[in-house]
Structure 1
């Protein structure tokens, strides 16, 4: 596929959600950050069952974003696979092993009190 040069944060979000779903990510949550912070438009949080799955999902996602959008994302934590951060600029992706996700509880920091997460 040729790199796409003109895309929105919604296009990027949709591709990220599709990739994670295809790779069997669990408990996928998307959080709209527009108007709340300047770190990005959206945050995506998802879990993998093992360090190997978390690392593999992150690697595939970064490769797809490069191939389809010409986007080079910044990645932290892929070597250990407990918590991988993928920063695309507009969408920040956190991939966790379930125990690590439960410990940090990022959803509680970013979702309004009493709101339900937007899961896929």
Structure 2
């Protein structure tokens, strides 16, 4: 199911002209989700429109209701669909949080050593 959900989200992002879309594989890094998708919208209105499209398509295709945060302000919208997390940012906000660095390939793996 997560493959179809991921494809749906990526398709909506492409259709809505989201910018700088990045997909991060979270398998083995966290139990929160299997995939994190990060994208940018050009404005608050664009971010909101992209989020609305993804949420509506998830409902239309039977994926149920995702948990959504940030829609009123639309600086950063999080769509939590279980196995897939979608973050849609305005570019300035995306740069501030820099989730790619936190969750990306250069993130260290392994247990934290007790000090």
Question: Is the structural similarity TM-score above 0.5?
Answer: yes
Cα offset, 1:60, TM superposition = 1.2
Match of 2:72 in 1: 79
Question: Aligned pair count?
Answer: 107
The TM-score normalised by the length of structure 1 is 0.86
Instruction: Give the greater-gyration-radius structure (CA).
Output: 2
Given the alignment, which residue of 96, 101, 112 partners 1:103? 96
Write out per-residue CA displacement over residues 64-111 of structure 1, whole angstroms, 9 at most, x where no aligned residue.
001112421000001101000000001000000000000110000001
Tell me the equivalent position of 1:28: 21
Q: Which runs of 4+ in 1 moved over 6 A?
A: none
Structure 1: runs of 5 or more not aligned: 1-7, 115-120
Matched, 1:40 2:33: yes
Structure 2, unpaired ranges of 5+: 108-115
